[in-house]
Amino acid sequence: MLLLRLRRLRRSDGAAAAVFLAPSVIGFSVFFLIPFAAGMYYSLVDSPVNGHFAGLANYREVLASSSFRRAARNTGWFVAVGVPVLMTFSLVLAIVLNRRLPLRRWLRTAYVMPLVIPVASVVMVWQVLFDRQGWINALMHAAAAAPVDWMQSGWARLIIVAAYVWKNAGYMMILYLAGLQSIPQEYYEAASIDGAGTVRKFRSVTLVYLTPTTVFVLMMSLMNVFKLFRETYLIAGDYPQSDIYQLQHYMNNQFQALDYQNLIAAAYVMAAAVALLAALLLRAERKFRDAVE
């Protein structure tokens, strides 16, 4: 009798769980799972209307495209340069603002403000600064120096990296602050008793116990690199200087050309690369954590 009641209870709990989970499952299927499957289908046909199976032809065409390769190289450059700069700057900010400083709360708020400023306003400021007729060129002209077309020169990459760091440093700083404040002070006291200096404590305590936070910050920074298109597009347009032409520019141009097969194939190649990077990072973090423990 007791077993029968338990079975009925399990069934009722299962039915209730299914009812509560149904909206999430339906939403995930409609907005993610079904579009993902449809995109995979369209990437394997030669036309979105009455198309025929083309196998991996679209992927080969994308990988053979010089525009795609240039965009991939540029995006890789932003990952290799922008992400370490952002993470280092955010960590330094977090360490500084984790101390007792005058106006510490105001400084924390100031660094978070770029997150709530509309993108259009941000772009307007950067255009005022770096346009050929902008403020910096006006200062250079006043100093009898030749003006520079910043967004059409080799400086364009560094300007976009600066905008990327400025936009995201506040959020990454908050993550690092949370990680720093979760480290027990007893570890630093034990390190001091063992004779460890500031550098040794930073390397052996702070960095070690910030590893999970650092991995998360790294993944978020990688994701934000692929959002640089928004600022770059608004500042420099559809076809910017070749050094800042990114994967999102390539896919946007394919969309405008109605080449949906190459667009979807490029999106899946980019998604596969991001998923591979994320898997490698999580595996490395897991191995490091096991080694520390």
Architecture of domain 65-292: Orthogonal Bundle (1.10)
Q: What is the pLDDT of residue 5?
A: 53
Cβ pair 67, 239 in contact under 8 A: no
- pLDDT higher than 50, residue 6: no
More confident residue, 126 or 10: 126
Provide the pLDDT confidence category of residue 9 given band limits of 50, 70 and 90: very low
Cα–Cα distance, 169 to 86 (Å, whole number): 6
Q: How far is CA 126 from the centre of its chain?
A: 21
Interval 231-289: pLDDT, tens: 777 777 667 778 888 888 888 888 877 777 888 888 888 888 888 888 888 888 777 77
| Environment class of 81 (CB within 10 Å of its CB; exposed 0-12, middle 13-18, buried 19+) | middle
Query: What residues pair up with 53 in beta bridges, in sequence order?
Result: 45
User: Out of 106-110, 163-167, 175-179, 258-262, which region has the weakest mean confidence (pLDDT)?
Assistant: 106-110
SS3 117: coil
At residue 168, φ and ψ (nearest 5 deg) are -110, -10
Angstrom distance (rounded) from CA 26 to CA 191: 52
pTM recorded for the entire structure: 0.79
6 or 148, which is more confident? 148
For the chain, give every domain's residue range.
65-292
Work out the angle between the directed axes of helices 119-130 and 135-142 (0-180°, nearest 10).
Answer: 20
Q: Are 136 and 150 in contact (CB under 8 A)?
A: yes
Look up residue 186 and give its two tokens. 């007893």
Residue 44 · residue 53 · CB < 8 Å: yes
Within 131-259, where are the H helices?
135-142, 155-181, 185-193, 198-201, 207-209, 211-225, 228-236, 247-256
Separation in Å, CA 216 to CA 97, 173, 179, 278, 285: 20, 12, 11, 10, 10
21's CB contacts (< 8 A; 6+ apart) are none
